Structure 1
């Protein structure tokens, strides 16, 4: 024979848990245009870089949500390259400003991921490769 036991109701939650739907993991990409005369031969650490900005001078930060298409820092850099060549927009509907040249070989893209780790990549003739973070991007 079993006897029903009534337990008091309890609520379990994590302190600081979000109250709404979980925010997606986000990658933020910033493009630095290489302004050296021979920049199209590839990035060199001594090359001067200029950050891509909006017309008002604020830093252009491209945002990409983690998805099947954006799985890591390199995927986000590839997506930034696409946006930087007028082929679409980021996940916040930002497009590449028409007063900045397209993203090209020799430029640098820094990507900060959901884990807050920042990866610096140079644009190569095919894809991107890791480089040390420039001293003054």
Structure 2
């Protein structure tokens, strides 16, 4: 004997989202360090960053922000390791974890520049590049367009 059973209709689907974050960048996974480099355009930038120095965010040729991405791993385990990896990319030694390299039309990352790092737990840290290592600094307030000739040329 057969019995009829009414079941609700169900649909199974895989949904791939391509939504961008609020700033227009690609969405990140929770296990990544996302980095933006601010180039110090002050005439004395090699003397170190001082609050109020004009900074220009590194961008792609079309003007969109250049965001480097590093996956949390044994190599990239904290914000300072992400900053070191950023320095390496910014000096054209390596690429980030998505294969992105430093643009040819922007100078190398150097002393006095500021690195903004968003950690996997969504903390944001700003670090100044020192002659050796990094120093935490307050969030920069003087941002300028990336047009300064001290920045938009290759070393």
Q: TM-score, normalised by structure 2?
A: 0.72
Q: Tell me the distance in 1 between the aligned counterparts of 2:84 and 2:116.
A: 11
Residue correspondence of structure 1 range 10-49 to structure 2 within 5 A: 25-49=31-55
Q: Tell me the distance in 2 between the aligned counterparts of 1:57 and 1:107.
A: 19
- 1:74 paired with 2:80, answer yes
Shift of 1:24: 6.4
Shift of 1:135: 1.5
Partner of 2:148: none
Q: TM-score, normalised by structure 1?
A: 0.81
| Residue 128 (structure 1) aligned to one of 134, 140, 147 | 134
Q: What is the CA RMSD across the aligned residues, in angstroms? A: 1.0
- Do the aligned partners of 1:24 and 1:65 also contact (CA within 8 Å) in 2? no
Q: Tell me the distance in 1 between the aligned counterparts of 2:34 and 2:142.
A: 19
- 1:101 paired with 2:100, answer no
Unaligned runs of 5+ in 2: 1-28, 144-155
Q: Deviations over 1:10-50 (max 9, x none)?
A: xxxxxxxxxxxxx5610001000000000011110111000
Q: Tell me the distance in 1 between the aligned counterparts of 2:81 and 2:142.
A: 24
- Give the 3-state SS of the residue equivalent to 1:99 in structure 2: coil
Partner of 2:56: 50
